[in-house]
Chain A
């Protein structure tokens, strides 16, 4: 059975520090959600146990690719599309 949206709380603090504080202050309570390809599928199927969600979507701190002489660091919030359009990752 589909989930009822009124059962869920969702916040979007908008910066990494606030999100990390939230996760640290209430361990195991908040589930991070980014693009939704896992969380929203579980949610739609009525199988999402978490009731409190914190958005990590579109955070500049996580959506970044840093290129140095020896390595490429890919932020956890990069989408595949973002990766595929990056001039170093996908020239």
Chain B
């Protein structure tokens, strides 16, 4: 095994972000989180812990919730990625965003993009989750401000609005 500092080549990596095809030039081991934030200016995904524990950097990759700090950008090649920037339709907030707003589900905001994407992932699979299922669906996302109950209530409210809409 060699530890010599030898510059590697960047790769051309293509994927779809929020419905738009994109090609980036990046080192294969660059974290998807850094490519999103620095190259694509999608700063919704946040770096919390940087080691896959807190969920602040969560995005959807081919419909699966992933922590983008743990994804080398090469693994995102060919995938379809949704970030928090892709949820609203123009000036109309996504039902989850509206419910977070109205229920005090966001305080400092660092965890909010990941929370909302985790909730979106949950509701895509379980449109009418129980409170327990909401708690489990958000269990990979840590919040230091809200105490979680407003977040869980916001997701429950969004689920009710979706099913009655």
A-side residues, CB < 8 A to B, are: 3, 5-12, 28-29, 33, 35-37, 40-41, 43-45, 49-51, 53, 55, 57-58, 81
CA distance A22 to B52 in the complex (A): 29
Q: B5 at interface (Cβ–Cβ under 8 A)?
A: yes
Number of interface residues of B (CB under 8 A): 25
Known interface pairs A28-B1, A41-B52; 17 further A-B residue pairs with C-beta atoms within 8 A, sorted by A's residue number: A5-B29, A7-B7, A10-B29, A12-B28, A12-B77, A33-B72, A35-B70, A36-B52, A36-B71, A40-B72, A44-B51, A44-B69, A45-B51, A49-B1, A49-B3, A50-B1, A55-B74
User: Are B29 and A43 in contact, CB atoms less than 8 angstroms apart?
Assistant: yes
**A40/B28 contact (C-beta < 8 A), A10-B74, A12-B74, A51-B1 known:** no
Given the complex of chains A and B, what is the CA–CA distance between A11 and B28 in angstroms?
8
Task: Say yes or no: B64 contacts A81, CB within 8 Å.
Answer: yes
- Type the 1/0 row for B33-56, where 1 means its CB is closer than 8 Å to any CB of A: 000000000000000001110000
Check B75 against A57 for contact (C-beta < 8 Å): yes
Interface of B with A (CB < 8 Å)?
1-3, 5-8, 10, 26-31, 50-52, 64, 69-72, 74-75, 77
How many angstroms between the C-alpha atoms of A55 and B29 in the bound complex? 11
**Are A5 and B51 in contact (CB-based, < 8 A)?**
no
Report A-chain residues with C-beta under 8 Å of the C-beta of B51. Answer: 40-41, 44-45
Residues of B within 8 A of A7 (CB): 5-8
Please tell me if the beta carbons of A10 and B28 are within 8 angstroms of each other in the complex: yes
The answer for the CA separation of A10 and B30 in the assembled complex, in Å, is 10
Question: Cβ of B75: which chain A residues have Cβ within 8 Å of it?
Answer: 12, 36, 55, 57-58
